[in-house]
Structure 1
Amino acid sequence: MTKLKTRRPAAGLDTPTDLDEAAVTAVSEALNGLLADAFALYLKTKNFHWHVSGPHFRDYHLLLDDQAAEIFAATDDMAERVRKIGGTTLRSIGHVAKLQSIEDNDEDFVPPGDMLKELMHDNKKVAQRMREAHEVADDHDDVATASLIENWLDQTEKRTWFLFEAARDSTDHGH
């Protein structure tokens, strides 16, 4: 995984903070990793939303749309937190591609149950990365970032749970 090159923000972007430079760098890197994964997971969730098929189409289509909206809603808070502490954040799809840990899925067809399972595992990976980012925030006494991550983690765990239950339903067939 490539890290964003840390550089002093341009004078016009310098934000006052009581966090030291090492904290700003470490927390910004952790948050930018979460942000890249959020964008990657958002697009994959929308991809599956657009391409889901089968007897549970409506339920899965709506579930994935709701989850994508929740993921996307968190992105602004992630990026703004980086800026609040004086860091710089992602600027392009290229930055996302360099930092994401979520693998893209460009297959022509993915069975609905496989979509749900893949997204469930991706959300579990995001949750683990959030826990790691929380440790970074704790190590630098950044309580506000830690608090935000706790809320995002709770949302991620809920998405994982819903995907687990929906995937179980997709293979149960009432037996």
Structure 2
Amino acid sequence: MTDTSEAKQRQKAKLTTPNSLGPEARRDISAELNGLLADFFALYMKTKNFHWHMSGPNFRDYHLLLDEQSDQIYATFDPIAERVRKLGGTTLRSTGHLARLQRLSDNDADFVTPSDMLAELREDNGRIAAFMRETHALCGEYNDVATTSALENWIDEAERRVWFLFESGRAS
């Protein structure tokens, strides 16, 4: 084989990272994680949107809360995508791919009240926690302890965000 043909073979090589999980587990878990990654991107964008467009007497507190939460959400992107790759899958390749997989709705309204922002983000974080629990159950069926462990931490973070959003949005 010439150097050129070897290079072409390497370029055509599949991205399947070897591991002890079977092909069905890699396929199913990767698909679920990609859905979660799309949802995390959507949640990040909505959280930043509301952070940028916050107004009212509690502006500073809410603005800082949403900035902190968006940073935490952003910090999950790479670990989720890298977990997909460790499983031998491929992950999101474009915003179009992301849009096809996301389950959380966008909010493009010109104005949203602070209380509605907090309530919507609370609901979205609750939904993403539920999606992660479903993925956790799937990973348990395949005995994928590494992904279940990561999901447990991300579920805890989502529940903390729900708690803070609930308490911040509570009427005085």
1:152 partner amino acid: W
2:63 to 61, 64, 76: 61
1:11 Cα deviation from its structure 2 partner: 1.5
Count of residues paired in the alignment: 161
1:125 partner amino acid: R
1:35-84, Cα deviation, whole Å (9 max, x unpaired): 01000000000000000000000000000000000000011000000000
C-alpha distance in 2, partners of 1:131/1:16?
26
1:27 partner amino acid: I
Task: Say if 1:96 and 1:127 are closer, same or farther in 2 by CA, change over 3 A.
Answer: same
1:96 to 95, 98, 108: 98
2:18 to 2, 16, 19: 16
2:51 partner amino acid: H
Asked if residue 117 in structure 1 is aligned to residue 141 in structure 2, the reply is no
Q: How does 1:18-167 map to 2 (within 5 A)?
A: 18-167=20-169
2:43 partner amino acid: L
Q: TM-score scaled to structure 2, two decimals?
A: 0.92
2:98 partner amino acid: V
Task: Say if 1:110 and 1:38 are closer, same or farther in 2 by CA, change over 3 A.
Answer: same
C-alpha distance in 2, partners of 1:72/1:92?
17
Q: TM-score scaled to structure 1, two decimals?
A: 0.90
For the Cα contact (< 8 Å) 2:118–2:166, is it kept in 1? yes
C-alpha distance in 2, partners of 1:31/1:131?
12
1:16 Cα deviation from its structure 2 partner: 1.0
Cα RMSD of the aligned pairs, angstroms, is 0.8
Structure 1 residue runs without a partner (length 5+): 1-9
1:14 Cα deviation from its structure 2 partner: 2.5
C-alpha distance in 2, partners of 1:96/1:69?
19
1:12 Cα deviation from its structure 2 partner: 5.1
Larger Rg: 2
C-alpha distance in 2, partners of 1:104/1:133?
22
Q: Which runs of 4+ in 1 moved over 6 A?
A: none
Structure 2 residue runs without a partner (length 5+): 1-11
1:67-117, Cα deviation, whole Å (9 max, x unpaired): 000000011000000000100001111111111111000000000000000
